[in-house]
Structure 1
């Protein structure tokens, strides 16, 4: 189980630190109000009161430390996501070309397959390539046969899944 991208032991620790920090803050507010209105707290000996102030200060410092750690983790995760996005943006075309080459597609089939992946219909592809729709249908059939796929959706899904698999193997 994950909350905020953290495993549950870290979430429990974070909640515990937040509770300690909230209790520390409340203690200091209570202490200030008591000082302003000259309220003496007879049920707490001054030695215990001083120890509570030290513990409350440590609790607040723990909160600051946890905030710094969480900020560092967030920045690291953000950088990793940015790297993955730039990898997808920059490597999509070359990855698709490698995949089409592995399937043994001809240059014309590669061009048609890329337009299929982009979502164009056979008619639109024929217009873009200035060829007949029957030629495009022939290319699409050949692409399906060579790739082992049976539909446009599977072609798009296959390209994207292979790209995601390649990115997950990336050391970034």
Structure 2
């Protein structure tokens, strides 16, 4: 059971590194856009959002990677029996699947809606750029959450399929 849990946290850590890489891409995009299109107000608005999103994804990715590194160490040092680990992991994954994504999905959905509203209503190019940026970030956020949800559901199915008698 320890191997399954360890692999789960290792997979989550790898996903966190992907989020950090996405953050670095947004920050690099900000720099490149400012270098070549500094006078374009639409690009300037887009760059502002990319900069903030880049810092968010980078910080969140690094924080989650560090957290998962600690969890991997805890799992390796666990003194619980396989049956106790199975029970606690099953309960934990049920919570993750039921409640773990609510706030992120709300955040990214709000960004998509806000981006659409600002993009469609604002006559100002700077604000259109901000709206476009919010729309892009919200969409990418939904994509990363969908990827994470699929991985967690697959892990939950893997844990659920373990024959409790063989633990």
Tell me the TM-score normalised to structure 2 length: 0.35
* Structure with the greater alpha carbon radius of gyration: 1
Q: Which has the higher helix share?
A: 2
